[in-house]
A and B are shown apart, each in its own frame.
Chain A
Amino acid sequence: MTVKLEARNISLSYGDPASGGNLLALSDINLQVREGEFVSIVGPSGCGKTTFLSVVDGLIRASAGQILVDGHVVTKPGRDRAVVFQDASLLPWRSVRRNVLYGLECAGITGRPAEERAAHFIDMVGLRGFEERYPYQLSGGMQQRVNLARALVMDPELLLMDEPFAALDAQTREMMQEELLQIWRASGKTVLFITHQIDEAIFLSDRVIVFSARPGRVKESVDITLDRPRSLKLKRDPRFHALEDRIWGLIQEDGGPPAR
């Protein structure tokens, strides 16, 4: 199987104006994600997950190492990738509809085709009827769903998701999980998914990568060989619980349980 994404010896330190020194956020990360694979990253809060995702998107340049997508070195963001940001980052002066259209607009896609695609994904995340609302009129979870639709509408080959469901209630979250799996199965996208919820990571993924506490490092990569398609019943399966215990243990070994 072809490799979609490869991180080679990625290290990154942030300048720290307070101390004048550097803060090492990522240390020598190596990992590969195959084409069409669904990979989750879990790890303690502040271990560098968001930072890593930004490096993969090309928003931050690593201090050392390389990101390769389809064998090409990433130097800046591209149409083949789209991010669902951890904080919804909606444009407050745009309605839901125009927020979802934003990425398409940047890519020069406008008019009927863009509107139809936007409408489809707004519908999919359950926001039909809210198209003309402004972000301040939405709940946190609804904002997060706009954020999700805005990335999906770009139809990227590599979907980078930073705790996209963290702000949702349990029912909506499970609905969105199943929806995401359906899109993933139908489209063959490669997904890199960050979450604090271990059960969510297991339920969705082919593989769960556990990061160590800061500086972020790949501590372990756990294959999830549970059959697909998966239904919510799976979450009560003993094998599911065994995986949960294992990953929980890995995270607890350093830095304690994930925050939140």
Chain B
Amino acid sequence: MTALIRLYRGHERLALGLLSMSLFLIAWQGLADGWWADALQRVSGQSVTLLRIKPIFLASPWRIATTAWQLYFVTGEMWRHLGLSAFEFSVAFVAALVVGMPAGLIAGRNRLLSYAADPLLTALSAMPQVALIPLVVLWMGTDVTARIFIIALLMLVPILINAHAAARTIDPRLLKLARSFGASERQVFRSIVLPSATPYLLAGTRFAIGRGMIGIVVGEIYGSSTGVGVMINQSGAQFQTARVFVGVLTIVVAGMALSELVRRIEKRCHVWRQPSLEQA
């Protein structure tokens, strides 16, 4: 017993996380299989249909797991979807970074450009970009290029806005210091602007990853036959809820993995930061 307690103490965070996750899954499984309805019926004598959810509305965790196994390792259908969506996402990600970071930093460093860019950025951040999807379809159709465009558009906004904010919040004393040492514009950029912007840029990137995942689903609403988003949308239309969840979980796992990657990079970039209370 004491060994068990010691084990728990050592991994308190993991243990509580696993516990809540298991309870959640059990509750869910019970809803789908009618455990709770049966139990209540035995007690109260009446059938509680509300607690018995049909599979066309909600698949049970177990069904989702077996379906995932099927799709990934028996038919292998999922890899096709995943491959195309990953390709779209990667191209869009790179495009959004390559356009958004320099544009945001440059606009933020130049006072006049910054004034000019401000209303545009404000409008862009207030606008629900998914509303533009019908327009994009009108212009570009529903092929892979159009999907990449939609994903990139969604990712661009947080990257651009964070880069812009980053360039505008640089400690003026450090800029003064660089000027006093006669640093060239390029040196100022490399030694002051970029390092002070890095936390913002990474935060923006992390945010953009989440938006890109949304982009995969909404960008693939129309047409075509391949892609995780397509698979989710079509399965939903056919009431194949287990397949919907396999697609959603695929995206969740991919998004979490990418976010974790960025978080690792953040951690490595921030050795010079005073550890915050939580880490201390």
- Which residues of A pack against B, CB within 8 Å? 54, 57, 59, 76-79, 82-83, 85, 87, 89, 91-95, 102-103, 105-107, 134-136, 154
Whole-angstrom distance between the alpha carbons of A61 and B16 in the complex?
62
A59 touches B182 (CB 8 A): no
Question: Restricting to B106-160, which residues have a CB under 8 Å from any CB of A?
Answer: none
Dominant SS among interface residues on chain A: loop
Interface residues of B (CB under 8 A from A): 173-174, 176-184, 187, 191-192, 195-196, 271-274
In the bound complex, what is the Cα–Cα distance between A107 and B196 (angstroms)?
21
Offer 21 A-B interface pairs, CB within 8 angstroms, sorted by A: A54-B176, A59-B176, A59-B180, A77-B179, A77-B182, A78-B182, A89-B173, A89-B174, A91-B177, A92-B272, A92-B273, A102-B181, A106-B178, A106-B182, A106-B183, A106-B187, A107-B181, A107-B182, A136-B273, A136-B274, A154-B181
In the assembled complex, which residues on chain A have CB atoms less than 8 Å from the CB atom of B272? 92-95, 134-136
The one of B177, B191, B273 in contact with A105, judged by C-beta atoms closer than 8 angstroms, is B191
Beta-carbon nearest neighbor of A99 in chain B: B177
Query: Nearest A residue to B177 by beta-carbon distance?
Result: A89
Q: Which residues of A contact B187 (CB under 8 A)?
A: 105-106
- When C-beta atoms are compared, the residue in chain A nearest to B188 turns out to be A106
- 16 new A-B pairs (CB below 8 Å) besides A89-B174, A95-B272? A54-B176, A59-B179, A77-B182, A78-B182, A82-B180, A85-B176, A85-B177, A89-B173, A91-B177, A93-B272, A103-B181, A105-B187, A106-B183, A107-B182, A136-B273, A154-B181
Q: Which B-chain residue is minimally distant from A87 (CB atoms)? A: B173
Listed from nearest, the 10 A-B pairs whose CB atoms lie closest are A106-B181, A136-B274, A106-B183, A93-B272, A134-B272, A103-B181, A93-B195, A89-B173, A89-B177, A77-B180
Given contacts A105-B191, A134-B272, A136-B272, contact A85 B173 (CB under 8 A): yes
Decide: B176 and A91 in contact? CB cutoff 8 A: no
